Amino acid sequence: MSFIDALFTSTSAMCVTGLVVFDTGTYFSTFGHWVILLLIQIGGIGFMTVATLFALILRRKISLKERLILQESLNQGSIEGLVRLVRKVIVYALALETVGAILFFIRFMFDMPVGKALYHGVFHSISIFNNAGFDLSGEFKSFSAYSSDVYMNIVSMALIILGGFGFIVLADLFDWRKKQRFSLHTKVVLSVTAILIVVGTLVIFIFEYTNGRSVGDTGFGHKLLVSLFQSVTTRSGGVTTVDVTEFRQATQFFIIILMFIGASPGSTGGGIKTTTFAVLVGAVLAMIRGKDDVVLFRLRLAQERVYKAVTVTLFCIGIVMLGTMVLATTEDAAFLKILFEVTSAFGTVGLSMGLTGDLTVTGKITIIILMFIGRLGPLTLTYALGPKQGRALYRHAEGKIIIG
């Protein structure tokens, strides 16, 4: 393996993306699998979370500076209860991954020896919960052998959705009995996730219903199951039960939109995030209705949040456009194929239309950068690299400009 391919695989694992130059199941050794798995685990729950875990194990005090960094990495409003939240993140992640591994192990025992079934169960549980998209199926087939297996589909979708909720939402869900209420963030994440899954399923189902190359020749139940799984996995999961290259172009473009939206803040997924999408829709509706405030679940959002949502979205669009232009220059492939690859990399999704293995060195470097930015977050990168400015001591006079 060349250095650039090793770097590509390492970045893809650490950024929990799943784009691969070589098939994970057949090309890599057992040692390689465990290296990938370790990177996925660290990248999924977060570097700062892992660092804090080691500090707690060594009984070392967490400094104020470390708490502030942790606050940013977990998207928290204050430093209060951060160490407690880190403990919850670790416990929830390990608990859900363990349950997923057991459920996968039970199913894999019917197809392979017990030892191999356990190995596959652990690998796929960690990979899928962290929305990484790496699999050991071989020959880039992903979960296509289980496209009609209801059990495997449900377990996989449950892990993808729970991983995509974000640890803040998971903590809220597990604390429901104590609090008897959800925060606004949790309500928005749950509702937007449900809407996107339902709408995505219906759109994919309608577009692919008569497509003989994908699911057109199968029964109604299988078509619905495949559509549901693709709707869930396209928002950061990365594993798939059908070949996306066989989808109609309309479906592929719709999948690009879902990948761009992505998962939720503080989760193992990428994209502009479900909450950003909700704020944008809320802002549009407020403008149409002639309202001054964006209101979600009868709560008004600060103007700063709306500006941030618009900024994140425009940055993301700009990054995807720039990445697409670079790859359109360096790669000999159809435009939709390139746009799909770029969005998948930036959204840390891992779905591909077969372009990854044919990328030039420049193309691989571009995708590596996109995966890194997508996992880090464009706004985080901008704040880190941009000039630090204090509060302005004056405001300019108001001007008028014609919009639309």
Is 189 in contact with 275 (CB distance < 8 Å)? Answer: yes
Per-residue pLDDT at 215: 86
Residue 60: exposure state from Cβ atoms within 10 A (0-12, 13-18, ≥19):
exposed
- Whose tokens are 């199968």? That residue is 218
Is 259 in contact with 351 (CB distance < 8 Å)? Answer: yes
- Alpha carbon distance 189, 279 (integer Å): 11
- Alpha carbon distance 253, 259 (integer Å): 10
**Number of C-beta neighbours around residue 394 at 10 A:** 4
Ramachandran angles phi, psi of 6, nearest 5°: -65, -40
- Alpha carbon distance 342, 338 (integer Å): 6
- Alpha carbon distance 373, 347 (integer Å): 9
- Alpha carbon distance 112, 108 (integer Å): 6
How high is the mean pLDDT in each 10-residue block of the chain (404 residues)?
A: 94 91 91 94 77 68 68 62 75 91 94 92 93 86 89 94 86 81 89 95 94 86 93 88 92 94 84 91 91 89 88 91 95 94 93 90 95 79 59 80 78
Is 351 in contact with 255 (CB distance < 8 Å)? Answer: yes
- Alpha carbon distance 149, 297 (integer Å): 38
Per-residue pLDDT at 139: 78
Is 137 in contact with 43 (CB distance < 8 Å)? Answer: no
**Number of C-beta neighbours around residue 129 at 10 A:** 30
- Indicate the pTM of the whole model: 0.90
Q: Is 8 helix (H, G, I), strand (E, B) or coil?
A: helix
Which residue type sits at 353?
Answer: M
